[in-house]
Amino acid sequence: MSEQQAVPGDAPGGTGSGDAPEKRTLNIGFMALTDAASVIVAATQGFAEKHGLTLNLQRQTSWAGLRDKLLSGELDAAHSLYGLIYGVQLGLGAPATDMAVLMGLNQNGQSINLSQPLLDAGVSSGEALRQHAHQQGARLTFAQTFPTGTHAMWLYYWLASQGIHPLRDVDSVVVPPPQMIAHLKARRIDGLCVGEPWSAQAVDEGLGCTIATSQSIWADHPEKVLG
């Protein structure tokens, strides 16, 4: 049998014209978090080139911005919060749009931190936080990264488990992950839930402590996905 001749437009290593990708360049969004590593490695090490694809990495500054670019088509896919993809599918905070979770990127890896001023006030446990939160005039503010994201879910669930109503007893604000440290330094927030490396950096810089990890809430939980 004679060797098969390549068909113009075939992907390198393909076996027929049907193997050519619909798009040869894919814009892939990511946030500056350690769980974006697999996407970054795939793009920078040329893992997609043998399939005729070029992965164009585009760093994003917030989950809301990443979501909007997925919806507008500026991004073809993205390193994304597990809950963000389902939120868009259900029309929560954005027009309902069909989405797909292509693969899981990581498990675990998020933390709930308390600020240094809380530690200085003797708040270093869930029980102490509950007592402090219910004191007259003590309105605490906690940050998470996206309304339908897993960080919000971990934060709300953990606060509730300590006897603190997450929507009535404290204020919750959305802060993009790279801005968490600045908000702690400026004392705009009393606690946070975020992925690495930001929670560890907060501890390293003496801005508070880690009081709970997400894997202690749900062991081996899904976290970031390629959406």
Q: Write the CATH number for 206.
A: 3.40.190.10
**Inside any domain, residue 11:** no
Q: Which two tokens stand for residue 17?
A: 């014209």
DSSP 53-88: -EEEEEE-S-HHHHHHHHHHTS-SEEEEEHHHHHHH
Q: Which residues pair with 78 in a beta bridge?
A: 29
Among 82, 104, 126, the domain boundary falls at 104
| pTM recorded for the entire structure | 0.83
> Do 121 and 169 fall within a single domain?
yes
**Inside any domain, residue 3:** no
pLDDT given for residue 19 in this prediction = 73
> Do 88 and 126 fall within a single domain?
no
pLDDT given for residue 65 in this prediction = 96
- Taking Cα atoms as reference points, which of 216, 225, 189 lies closest to residue 126? 216
Condensed to tens digits (0 to 9), the pLDDT of residues 92-145 reads 989 999 999 999 999 999 999 999 999 999 999 999 999 999 987 879 999 999
The region that residue 91 occupies, defined by phi over 0 for left and psi between -120 and 50 for alpha, beta otherwise, is left
Whether residue 4 has pLDDT greater than 70? no
Q: What percentage of the chain carries pLDDT values higher than 90?
A: 84
> Do 88 and 114 fall within a single domain?
no
Cβ atoms of residues 77 and 26 within 8 Å = yes
Confidence of residue 9 (pLDDT cuts 50, 70, 90): very low
> Do 147 and 216 fall within a single domain?
yes
**Inside any domain, residue 164:** yes
Radius of gyration of the chain (CA): 21
**Inside any domain, residue 70:** yes
**Inside any domain, residue 5:** no
> Do 35 and 71 fall within a single domain?
yes
> Domain range holding 95?
17-104
Q: Which two tokens stand for residue 149?
A: 């994201």
Count of the separate structural domains present in the chain: 2
pLDDT given for residue 17 in this prediction = 52
Among 58, 82, 104, the domain boundary falls at 104
Angstrom distance (rounded) from CA 5 to CA 176: 51
> Do 92 and 154 fall within a single domain?
no
> Do 142 and 79 fall within a single domain?
no
**Inside any domain, residue 227:** no
> Do 168 and 99 fall within a single domain?
no
Q: Which residue has the higher pLDDT, 16 or 108?
A: 108
